[in-house]
Chain A
Amino acid sequence: MTNSIEEILNTDAMFVIGSNTTENHPIIGSTMKQAIKNGAKLIVADPRKIELADYADVFLQLKPGTNIALLNGMMNVILEKGLQNKEYIEERCENFEELKEIIKEYTPERVAEICGVNTEDIIKAACIYAEADKAGIYYTMGITQHTTGTAGVMSVSNLALLCGNVGKESSGVNPLRGQNNVQGACDMGGLPADLPGYQKVFKPEVIEKFEKAWNAKLSSKVGMTIPEIFNGAHDGSIKFLYIMGENPMVSDPDINHVKKSLENVDFLVVQDIFMTETSAFADVILPAASFAEKDGTFSNTERRIQRVRKAINPVGDSKPDWQILMELMNFLGYKKTYSNPSEIMDEIASVTPSYGGIDYERIENVGIQWPCLDKNHPGTKYLHKTAIARGRGLFMPAEYTESAEIPDKNYPYVFTTGRILYHYHTRTMTGRVDGINQIAPSSYVEINETTANRLGIENGDRVKLTSRRGQIETTAKITEIIDDDVLFMPFHFADGAANYLTNSAADPIAKIAELKVAAVKIEKVN
């Protein structure tokens, strides 16, 4: 997020697109509803009539995969009505002419057609967003999990820049990060091209700095992303795979492909707190301690570095992941030891500028939001305050293109996936809580009544779904919240796993798979 969670309370308008906030970021969802009570306006764009839609001034139930068209359409209305922030564009942005050129083609009438929504609603949404003094955009995977995900993110940023909503309190561009520490995993260099703090591996000065700090020879060759790693394991170029705390056999697109890759790799180490669908393929399983059994920090979606504290001893012989990694490094000949995670944080601070001022003493009571450059730096509530980070805000206009796989005669339905309130990711943890299983016991597919009637499917019927990649059986749930000819499935369940069907076609830049759109067929199981 460019901005902070508490700033939501003082916002004038919120535009929530591709985020089922009340289920996936429940406390942010509640904060948004509090803001509405304080008078904030709400625009919701989602293929499903999610809970927030009930609170919305405008709800746009768009077809999956048409975000960019909608965003361009809103910008078209804003420019047409002269609602853009001219001064801000002049002073702080560049490439405005190119934006105008592309946006001009996206009249609300044309966009309404593409997205399957009303022209008036697009106009209304654009006006609410542009006329609000402080307006924030909130999005999640509904924007990013498309072959055009990067362009989707750019389009969100274009809209925010157009109205001067970047670098300002209670506004901004706010991707809500899904997992507890996905922000931190990125910050710490858990990415193929990035050392900690997004310092690029291909920059000689960066490599030099880290070689000195770590006293080791480093590679400046950009590494592989997850899809490339699985392809490598599949074709034999990856021989040794180490998976810590992940379960791609449920969470990743095209599970049949993942399975073949895991079967094929020479040596697989899995480190986790439970047996998982993935660890079944391992050569060695290392038992890790849970979050309640170790010290450390997580960085949340608003970039706040917060303490995790040990409450009980690790169960059995399990060990905290940091200790396992350290001991393994030592076995492999790298003789560095840490007596506790606070020492690791001190090392992180010494090599990561945005974490430069972080230490355990400073975050004892309240976490600090990075960038926090040194010990006297108070941290940063919202980004881009005086200038856009890269100098000036750059408009990066994008054309709308169709999803990689669109419905056809054989696979006539749009299939989309997501999460639900009660489960978390692959259920490794929530699947072991009785009450949760009582409320959300098994996999299902949401189907609109009209579609169901046409196919003779009744609520609770067992159905078979097939895509070009796989086939699963699940239970039909007839609901009003989904459009005709669109099917939605939560991906959490290993039994009837949605990801056997999903498409691993990915965005060319971010390499994010198109988990939000696939073409499937559905039939009743007799």
Chain B
Amino acid sequence: MNIIINGTTYEVEKNTTILQACKNAGIDIPTLCHDERLKPTSACRLCLVEVEGTKNLVTSCSTMVKENMVVHTHNEKVMKTRRDVLNLAISNHPLECLSCDKSGDCKLQDYCYEYGILNGTYKGAMRTPKIDSSNPFYDYDARKCILCGLCVRVCDELQCSNAIGFEDRGFEANVSTPFNEGLINSKCVSCGNCVSVCPVGALTPKGQKFRHWETSKVRTTCSYCGVGCQMDLVVKGKKIVDVEPAMDAINNGLLCVKGKFAYKFINHPDRLKTPLIKRNGKFEEATWDEAYRYITKKATEIKENYGPNSFAGLTSARCTNEENYLFQKLFRAVIGTNNIDHCARL
């Protein structure tokens, strides 16, 4: 079917939302509560657009396209309403961008910049200053929560842990665990999937100290379990400082606690940094050359005296395919034995 967006005609599929149609047409519509994976709730009202023939503006995330619909996404009426929505959102939001971890990666900050909102003008009560820092991996700061509901919906619809919900209304409203028992005492499994979707700095990983603009991202595969979730390592200098789930992959934007938060072993001071050779019962640092020569000498002696079948190697389900391939090639083609196995049985 055809619809007209901002004066241009587009062909769109049936059962498409206006938001999706605009996205396909390359027109950017701001959203705070929208996530393609979740049922729309029209909570943030930022995606409002004007549809000719309709009295009120409609939320584009939940309105389906109709034949010959005429849509305006950025006319003055729409822009003014969006400015109002943002103004309201920022009016009871602590403007701590200077010290907020989310700065530079915050949708509220970005939209306020785009729509020219300097300050909230609806002065009144601020949000309840409630903080839940009971979980060892992340904190919830209710003052910064814009009640978009993404965290609650991800926890319910995708993670399926149902650990959190909304409590109270109005200024008192916030995300909470049943009976206010605190995240650590709830059904929360610390997957951090709520943290990954929070558009603002209300849910943030603990102990982070970096600016988003100082980092780069590298797509990789989780090194823990066999699910093989895709993730982006967030790199600052020589360190991995955060992990974000990949959307366009089997894990559909989700990770578990290990993939999301258990990355700090990478830059841990205990990492082995140099080859070690045991001399008189003690490990001493060695160069690679020394280590290789020592192994070569021993291997040659043992092979001469006892033959290749006195060698055995345990390869690793933790290493890459390429490394496993080389390991068995080393044993088979260079040493000459099939005594190779790994912990597939554990």
Q: How many B residues have CB within 8 A of the partner chain?
A: 109
Within 8 A of A (CB), among B272-286: 272-278, 283, 286
Within 8 A of B (CB), among A158-182: 176-182
On whether the beta carbons of A238 and B312 are closer than 8 Å, the reply is yes
| Listed residue (A181, A299, A304, A436) with the most chain B CB atoms within 10 angstroms of its CB | A181
Within 8 A of B (CB), among A290-320: 290-294, 296-302, 304-313, 315-320
Complex: chain B residue closest to A300, CB-CB: B228
Render B217-240 as a binary contact track against A, CB cut-off 8 A, 1 for contact.
011111111111110010100111
On whether the beta carbons of B295 and A269 are closer than 8 Å, the reply is yes
Report the separation of the CA atoms of residues A274 and B286 in the bound assembly, to the nearest whole angstrom: 16
| Residue A434, interface by CB 8 Å | yes
Render A419-431 as a binary contact track against B, CB cut-off 8 A, 1 for contact.
0011011001110
Contact with B314, one of A181, A246, A300, A321 (Cβ below 8 angstroms): A246
Task: Given A24-B225, A190-B342, A319-B288, answer yes or no on A306-B230 (Cβ-Cβ < 8 Å).
Answer: yes
On whether the beta carbons of A287 and B337 are closer than 8 Å, the reply is no
Render B318-342 as a binary contact track against A, CB cut-off 8 A, 1 for contact.
1111111111111111111111111
On whether the beta carbons of B136 and A439 are closer than 8 Å, the reply is yes
| Residue B189, interface by CB 8 Å | yes
Render B196-212 as a binary contact track against A, CB cut-off 8 A, 1 for contact.
00000000001000000
| Residue A11, interface by CB 8 Å | no
Task: Given A233-B312, A296-B322, A329-B330, answer yes or no on A287-B274 (Cβ-Cβ < 8 Å).
Answer: yes
Stretch at the interface among A449-457, A479-487, A510-518: A510-518
Contact with B320, one of A225, A297, A304, A329 (Cβ below 8 angstroms): A297
Task: Given A240-B311, A311-B220, A435-B261, answer yes or no on A331-B292 (Cβ-Cβ < 8 Å).
Answer: yes
The binding surface of chain B is classed by DSSP as mixed
| Residue A217, interface by CB 8 Å | yes
Task: Given A5-B227, A421-B257, answer yes or no on A284-B277 (Cβ-Cβ < 8 Å).
Answer: yes
On whether the beta carbons of A328 and B322 are closer than 8 Å, the reply is no
Report the separation of the CA atoms of residues A248 and B313 in the bound assembly, to the nearest whole angstrom: 13
| Residue A403, interface by CB 8 Å | no
| Residue A69, interface by CB 8 Å | no
Task: Given A222-B338, A316-B273, answer yes or no on A180-B224 (Cβ-Cβ < 8 Å).
Answer: yes
Report the separation of the CA atoms of residues A266 and B302 in the bound assembly, to the nearest whole angstrom: 9
Size class of the A contact interface (CB-based, 8 Å):
35 or more
Render B122-142 as a binary contact track against A, CB cut-off 8 A, 1 for contact.
000000000000001100000
Report chain A residues within 8 Å CB of B324.
181, 184-185, 188-190
> Would you give the shortest CB distance from A1 to chain B, in whole angstroms?
9
Contact with B318, one of A181, A325, A333, A344 (Cβ below 8 angstroms): A181
On whether the beta carbons of B318 and A245 are closer than 8 Å, the reply is yes
| Residue B96, interface by CB 8 Å | no
Report the separation of the CA atoms of residues A367 and B184 in the bound assembly, to the nearest whole angstrom: 36
Contact with B322, one of A226, A241, A322 (Cβ below 8 angstroms): A322
The binding surface of chain A is classed by DSSP as mixed
Report chain A residues within 8 Å CB of B291.
284, 286
On whether the beta carbons of A284 and B295 are closer than 8 Å, the reply is yes
Q: What is the count of residue pairs linking A and B with beta-carbon distances less than 8 angstroms?
A: 447
| Residue B158, interface by CB 8 Å | yes
| Residue B55, interface by CB 8 Å | no
On whether the beta carbons of A180 and B223 are closer than 8 Å, the reply is yes
> Would you give the shortest CB distance from A311 to chain B, in whole angstroms?
4
| Residue B169, interface by CB 8 Å | no
Report chain A residues within 8 Å CB of B295.
269, 284, 328, 331
| Residue B346, interface by CB 8 Å | yes
Report the separation of the CA atoms of residues A440 and B261 in the bound assembly, to the nearest whole angstrom: 14
On whether the beta carbons of A224 and B339 are closer than 8 Å, the reply is yes
On whether the beta carbons of A328 and B319 are closer than 8 Å, the reply is no
Report the separation of the CA atoms of residues A300 and B226 in the bound assembly, to the nearest whole angstrom: 5
Task: Given A240-B299, A297-B321, answer yes or no on A274-B270 (Cβ-Cβ < 8 Å).
Answer: yes
| Residue B191, interface by CB 8 Å | yes
Task: Given A26-B256, A244-B314, A329-B330, answer yes or no on A275-B270 (Cβ-Cβ < 8 Å).
Answer: yes
Report chain A residues within 8 Å CB of B229.
27
Within 8 A of A (CB), among B131-168: 136-137, 157-161
Contact with A196, one of B228, B323, B325 (Cβ below 8 angstroms): B325
Report the separation of the CA atoms of residues A82 and B257 in the bound assembly, to the nearest whole angstrom: 45
Stretch at the interface among B2-10, B65-73, B246-254: B246-254
- Nearest 9 CB-CB pairings of A with B: A316-B273, A300-B228, A296-B320, A223-B338, A245-B316, A26-B256, A435-B136, A33-B160, A287-B272
| 16 new A-B contacts at CB < 8 Å, known A240-B312, A317-B275, A319-B288 | A25-B226, A27-B229, A188-B324, A188-B325, A218-B332, A218-B336, A222-B338, A224-B339, A226-B343, A242-B314, A274-B268, A275-B270, A283-B278, A298-B228, A422-B258, A432-B270
Please, could you name 25 A-B residue pairs with CB atoms under 8 Å apart, sorted by A? Answer: A27-B251, A141-B346, A178-B346, A185-B316, A185-B317, A185-B319, A189-B328, A192-B338, A214-B332, A240-B298, A240-B299, A242-B331, A266-B302, A283-B277, A284-B286, A284-B294, A285-B276, A288-B272, A306-B221, A311-B235, A321-B316, A329-B330, A332-B296, A348-B325, A424-B258
Residues of B at under 8 Å CB distance from A? 136-137, 157-161, 184, 189-191, 206, 218-230, 233, 235, 238-240, 248-251, 254-258, 261-268, 270-278, 283, 286, 288, 291-296, 298-300, 302, 306, 308-346
Residues of A at under 8 Å CB distance from B? 4-6, 22, 24-28, 30, 33-34, 37, 141, 144-145, 176-193, 195-196, 201, 210, 214, 216-219, 221-226, 229, 232-233, 237-246, 248, 251-252, 266-267, 269, 272-275, 282-288, 290-294, 296-302, 304-313, 315-322, 325-329, 331-334, 341, 344-345, 347-348, 366-367, 421-422, 424-425, 428-430, 432-436, 438-439, 510-513, 515
